[in-house]
Amino acid sequence: MSLLFRAGLAFATSVALAFLVLPVVAIFLRVPPGELISALGTDAAKDALVVTLETNLVSMALIILFGTPAAYWIATRGSRLRDVVVTAVELPLVLPPAVAGIGLLVAFGRLGLLGGTFDALGIDVAFTKAAVVLAVTFVASPFYLRTAIASFEVVDPALPAAARTLGAGPARVFGRVMLPLARSGLGAGAALAFARGLGEFGATIMFAGSLQGVTQTLSLAIYEQFDIDLDVALAISAFLIVLSALVLLSVKLFTRWRSGSASFTLFAASARRPT
C-alpha cells in the first residue's frame, strides 16, 4: 500500500509538471532559436521592450518609495486594523483584469473621479505612458506590499525596542534597524512585483490602450503580433519566459543566501509578534 501511494504521488506530480511545462517548452520548439532572436529585432518588439522597461522602472520606484513605509505602518498596527488594511492591499490580486482596468479608467480617466482635477492641470492620463505606469503599479504593488508586511512582522520586536531604549527615534529605528533586517524579504517582494509588472495585460489595454511606441508593452505586443506575425509573438513570449524565470530564480537564490532558509513563501500567514 505504501509503494502504491508513493507511485500515485509520483504520477500526480508528473502530470501536474508536464501540464505546466509543456506550453512553455512548446514556444521554444515552435520556432528555431535563430529566428526567435531575429524576430526580437523587429520595430514592434524593440518599441514594446523600451515602453515596458520605462514604465516598469518608474512603477517599481513608486512601489518601493511609497510601499515600504506603508508596509511598515501596516505591520505595526493592531490585528483588527491590520486585517482590514491587508485585505484592501490583497484585493487587486483577485480582481479580474477587466475590473482593474475599468476601475482605473473611471478613477483617473477624463470623465473619472479625478478627471476634472487633471483637466484643470492640463494633464490627460488615460491612453498615455502614465496610464501604463498606474496600471502596472496597481496590479504589481500588492506583491511587494504583502511580502514587505510579512518581512517587517517577522523581525524580533526586542530589537527595535532595544534601539528605542538607547534613544533612537521612530525614523532611526525604521531606517537603521527594521530596513536592514527586512531587506531580504523586501528584495524578494520587489523582484516578484517587477516580474508581475512585466506581464501585465488586462488593466493596461483597457486604461492605456495599445499604441506602438507609446503604451504598447511586451504583453500587448504579443496580442497584436499574434494576428500579424506569429514568429514575432513567439519571440517576445520566449523573451518574457526567460526574463520571468531569471527573476524567480534570483528571488529564490537571494532569499536562501540571506536567510539560509530552504524556501520562501510569498503569501504564508504572517508571523505574530510574541506577547
Domain of 67, CATH number, reads 1.10.3720.10
- pLDDT of the residue at 112: 80
Residue 7 lies in a domain: no
Positions of the chain with pLDDT under 70: 1, 119-120, 255, 257-275
> Does residue 99 lie within any of the structural domains?
yes
Instruction: Using DSSP, state whether 109 is helix, strand or coil.
Output: coil
Report yes or no on 4 lying in a domain. Answer: no
Tell the residue number behind the cell numbers 512582522, with chain if given. 153
For residue 40, the model assigns a pLDDT of: 83
pLDDT of residue 39: 82
Residue 19 in any domain: the answer is: no
Range of the domain at 249: 31-259
Domain count, the chain: 1
Residue 258: its pLDDT value, please? Answer: 61
The secondary structure element, H or E, covering residue 6 is: helix 2-30
DSSP state of 42: S
- What's the confidence (pLDDT) of residue 259? 59
Spatial separation of the C-alpha atoms in residues 204 and 217, rounded to whole Å: 9
Residue 43 lies in a domain: yes
Percent helix, strand, coil in the chain, to 5, is: 75, 0, 25
**23 occurs within a structural domain:** no
In a domain, 149, yes or no: yes
Q: In the prediction, which pLDDT does 218 show?
A: 94
Question: Rounded CA gap, 64 and 194, in Å?
Answer: 11
